[in-house]
Chain A
Amino acid sequence: MSTFGVIAVVALTIIVLIAMGALLSYLSRTGSEKHADPDAELIEAVNAVLPQTQCAQCGYPGCRPYAQAIIKNDEPINRCPPGGEQTIEQLSTLLGTPVLALDTSCGQQKPEQVAVIKEDICIGCTLCIVACPVDAIVGAAKLMHTVIADECTGCELCIPPCPVDCIDLIQPEQTAASWQWPKPAS
């Protein structure tokens, strides 16, 4: 084969490849534009049922990713410990699938909890701020940090990164605003 021949083949291959790439990318783009993900609505509905604790115990980095996995990958509906039985029931009604027992390999359902930072021990390392998925911790480097109790979902993700173990989980306090009248007997 002559040098010219080699060059021609190579050039042709390159042109074909580029054209294919362009075609592919065009196809995929028009695809996503014209037919929006048909599952989007369902994913939204599943996400609305999930507790938004964002704790990642389900094995996904948050509630929405888990909702996506349930719809797209047929992930079982029993992997969310904070939601517990109630969420599983709601999901089963929504999706028309059988009710399952909570997969305890993901974790156990716990009573509502919030994180508090022992402010005299905190060294202001900012590691918990980075870990908090819902931006519920405020503070600046080397200054004491505080958890905004109203915004904390109790996901526990801030606990392992803390180098001085100064974050505790407590039951949220009964406040005048959150108090409820007890149900009368019968």
Chain B
Amino acid sequence: MGMFGKEKKACMQGPLLFGFHGGLQLQPNKRALQNSTDPITELEAPHELVIPLLDYNKNSIAPQVELNQHVNRGQLLAAGIIAPATGQVMAIEPRHIIHPETIKANAVVLEVDKASDNQSVHMANQANHDSTAWDTQLSAFLNMPDNVLQQSALYGLGGAGFPTASKLDAALGGIQTLIINAAECEPEIACDEALMQTEATHIARGIDALVQLTQCRHCLLAIEDSMPAAIDAMSAALKSINAQVKLTVIPTIYPTGAESSLIQTLTGRFIPHNEKPSDHGIVCFNVATAYALYQAIGGKALDSRVVSLGGSAMPNPLNVRVRFGSSVEAILLATGNASVINTARLRAGGPLSGFDLDTPQVPITAQTNALLAEPCITETPAQPCIRCGECSDVCPAKLLPQQLHWYAMSDDHEKCQQLNLDACIECGCCDLVCPASIKLTQSFRYAKSKAKHIAQHQQKTLDAEQRFALHEARVAKRKQEKAHAIEQRKQSLKARSKPQSDQIKAALERAKLSAKSKKPR
């Protein structure tokens, strides 16, 4: 406690803002920015990169490279997955992935060729400083956007990791409002803030490209009021582009950066969880995705991201730009944070929306926005619910967490659906306020994944039944065909057997006779 205040309503009702239900005012606690003068430290690619072969839905996909093959930075490893560095494929095998429980997925293991990789970094930096090329690049992109979108493997960097090309596809045409999300409302996470401080001009160009591509009527850039340096940098940079972008400063309330909360804050519209913002003429992109698009238009595929190192036990908190596939361990070692590996509780993602890690030997992905080290604590055991109602007061999805928890724990999926479990955005607000320390959010995550599992199982059963029916039909048909063939053969034998059988009978008779006569007595 003491980490949040609930007197948020006063500052919420700015003249142009609408606000959303619930939420919490949390201390931003962005250690990654507080202690260092350099907003972002660029890390060299480590010796080994591990790139899981998983698509957006976490299904395995087939590699398009072979063992021992040499690959260049930016080359396709599988559909939608590119090599984050130049090097050699050392293995294609199951490896641990970054995940709440240690599980494995098939992955490409890349041994980085340091010399040629450094050269690629050098070339990229030079291209970055050549600003005259931008106008030509932008118009080429706007003429043929698909080329860039397909080659650069862009996906959202806000957390969900949705492929940008699909989002743009759904958005093209009917978009009124384009929202650039720079709210970054969760404590400790400061990667977008740092990016805006250092790359404002380039971000503005990426936004310009998005505005021109979607042909939206309005574009809003939403930044929380706790980031003055980022606000200054972006408002200056937005003057350098053609597109009209309205910079909107929003109050710092968690989880205002969640898509639904942000849309509600800016437009007053509540979009139910089973509808898409694009159904309402709205599309949201993360500010880092706008930057990634800028880079992609300049020919540089998305292969790294900014990660905030923080948490109260992190000795050297800072923001680092790291290649995808770098292990958490390598990142901690390279930043003077090795001491936390065995002494602290490591966490991927923010203090509320993230999850604890069992091992640091897992590779980061586009979704890893923060790595935290917190002291190991024994968890307070849950007490019975006292029905204080705090959880429903803070829930941004307007749910009834205490009731949902009851049904989630008793595996009553029907009731969970009735109470709109699917609308839960797993923000963790309810956990934070619950005086009984009930693990509400985890029970919702559990119930959601279980419902998904049951649905998958039902589909599998249905498919098996269908394949069995097809199999049976095929077997029956074959049997019938065989019987038919035998019958035909019999018929044809019979048809020509008359003369033959007479001859055979005669022959048999003769044989019998001769046998009798020859039988010795």
Contacts and interface: CB of A to CB of B under 8 A. Distances in A.
Interface of A: 47, 51-54, 62-64, 132-136, 150-151, 153, 174-186
B464 A153 contact: yes
* Contact residues of A: prevailing secondary structure: loop
A174 B468 contact: no
Interface in B87-102: 97, 99-101
17 contacts: A47-B465, A52-B468, A62-B468, A63-B468, A132-B471, A133-B471, A134-B464, A136-B467, A176-B54, A176-B59, A179-B99, A179-B103, A180-B449, A181-B446, A181-B448, A184-B446, A185-B382
B468 A180 contact: no
A186 B59 CA distance: 31
Interface string B418-438: 000000000000000000000
B449 A181 contact: yes
B378 interface: no
Contact of A135 (B59, B450, B460, B471): B471
A181 B448 CA distance: 8
Interface string B443-478: 101101110110010001111110111111000000
B100 A176 contact: no
B105 A176 contact: yes
A179 B471 contact: no
B54 to A, nearest CB: 6
B59 to A, nearest CB: 5
Contact of A63 (B439, B442, B465): B465
A179 B355 CA distance: 15
B103 A186 contact: no
B471 A180 contact: no
Interface in B63-114: 97, 99-101, 103, 105
Contacts of B54: 176
A150 B460 contact: yes
A158 to B, nearest CB: 13
* Contact residues of B: prevailing secondary structure: helix
B347 to A, nearest CB: 16
Interface of B: 52, 54, 57-60, 97, 99-101, 103, 105, 381-382, 409, 439, 442-443, 445-446, 448-450, 452-453, 456, 460-465, 467-472
A42 B99 CA distance: 44
Nearest to A150: B460
B464 A54 contact: yes
A180 B446 contact: yes
A74 to B, nearest CB: 23
A97 B439 CA distance: 40
6 residue pairs, one from A and one from B, having the closest CB atoms: A176-B58, A184-B439, A181-B445, A180-B449, A52-B464, A181-B446
Contacts of B467: 134-136, 151
Contacts of B99: 176, 179
B464 A182 contact: no
Given A183-B446, A184-B439, A52 B103 contact: no
Nearest to A61: B472
B443 A175 contact: no
Given A64-B468, A151-B464, A181-B445, 20 more contacts: A52-B465, A63-B465, A63-B468, A133-B468, A134-B464, A134-B468, A136-B467, A150-B460, A151-B460, A175-B103, A176-B97, A176-B103, A177-B57, A177-B59, A177-B60, A178-B456, A179-B449, A181-B100, A181-B448, A182-B101
A175 B105 contact: yes
A134 B466 CA distance: 8
Nearest to B445: A181
A1 to B, nearest CB: 32
Contacts of A132: 471
Contacts of B472: 62, 133
A102 B471 CA distance: 28
Contacts of B452: 180
Contacts of A186: 381-382, 409
Nearest to B474: A135
Nearest to A176: B58
Contacts of B448: 181
B57 A180 contact: no
Contacts of A63: 465, 468
A174 B60 CA distance: 12
B460 A183 contact: no
A21 B99 CA distance: 71
A54 B258 CA distance: 46
A185 B477 CA distance: 54
Contact of A51 (B439, B446, B461, B470): B461
A64 to B, nearest CB: 8
A183 B465 contact: no
A178 B453 contact: yes
Contact of B468 (A54, A179, A181, A182): A54
A52 B472 CA distance: 13
A86 to B, nearest CB: 12
Contacts of B463: 151
A48 B149 CA distance: 44
A174 B96 CA distance: 12
A180 B103 contact: no
